[in-house]
Amino acid sequence: MITSLTIRRADDWHLHLRDGAMLPAVLAETVRHFSRAIIMPNLMPPVTTGAQAAAYRDRILAALPEGQTFEPLMTLYLTEDTDLDDLTAAHASGLIKAVKLYPAGATTNSASGVHNFETIRPVLERMAEIGCPLCVHGEVTDPEVDIFDREAVFIDRVLTPLRRATPELRVIMEHITTSDAVEYVKGETSNLAATVTTHHLMINRNHILAGGIKPHYYCLPVAKRETHRLALRSAVTSGNAKFFLGTDSAPHVDAAKEQACGCAGCFTATNTMAILAHVFEQEAALDHLEAFTSRNGPAFYGLPINTETITLIKGEVVQFPKKIASEDGPITVFDPGVDIHWQVKE
């Protein structure tokens, strides 16, 4: 039985840090275990220019706990008015590592996203030319499409035509939730990859709805059937280099989650690495954990692997904090719903 595992320090390829009073509290949870993270740009207002990305990066670095190191990998929020030259300059300088595509209305703070995908074709062509990856929230927002089918329909209606028109573009399907997306990514070229969250490996839609509504399990894309959860587990524990960790850790204060129209998002930064060790042990794949958390992402983004390491140890049941405090209010930590015996050795 393995009770200790040392791996390269992990990266998070999809992270929400928010801004303002919440930022220092949630950032502290990420930097304990992660060296870098792709930072989501869906602030209010969104991060749409190089200058805004630089200012946000500076606020993140200023909020770092003393003695901690962390590299925020910045992104721009793609709109139908994105400035090609500004995007090109921000990428060439190393300021941004990707651009984020939100279909308008798909998730939190996505109202400024894309309505007409034809309008962004010049931007995508420029991104392919300069080698800037596109991170995609892969859901259609057509009200006639069932919420549990939005990802599969997006692949057919939007992503496949988009990639056919710009095959050189490097695309990351973020937070995939279905077997449809797993098979699509596995079957496509090297220009396509996918991130998978911690919580989608642990919960299915029953966890949200059965026995009463559980607002802290509500996320977008919403968790799907158990067959899809098992497909995600199989993909990430297989060692396939096209799949890597993007937690989509998305903090909201309890007052915003626990209401009649609660916000979508699970806050997983605190216990992600411990939960992943649990998942990979269950799947007899601890030898593939490092690839998922620390190697596949850098390889796709063309970045070096972290030289530092972290050690996970297994012992008694770990009691994770139920909430973390922020100046905006308490934030509930994701509850995996089962006993976790792994933790990061601090």
What amino acid positions are annotated as catalytic residues?
248
The 3-state DSSP class for residue 24 equals: helix
Nearest 5°: CA angle at 11, between 8 and 15? 160
What is the Cα–Cα distance from 102 to 114, expressed in whole angstroms?
6
DSSP 42: -
Contact (CB, 8 A) for 334 and 247: no
Contacts of 187 (CB under 8 A, 6+ apart): none
Note the Cα 312 to chain centre separation in Å: 22
Q: Which helix (H) or strand (E) holds 201?
A: helix 199-202
Gap between the Cα atoms of 39 and 27, Å rounded: 11
Three-point CA angle 184, 287, 283, nearest 5°:
65
Residues in the chain: 346
- Both tokens of residue 307? 């030289």
Distance CA 84, CA 67 (A): 38
Do the Cβ atoms of 17 and 248 come closer than 8 Å? no
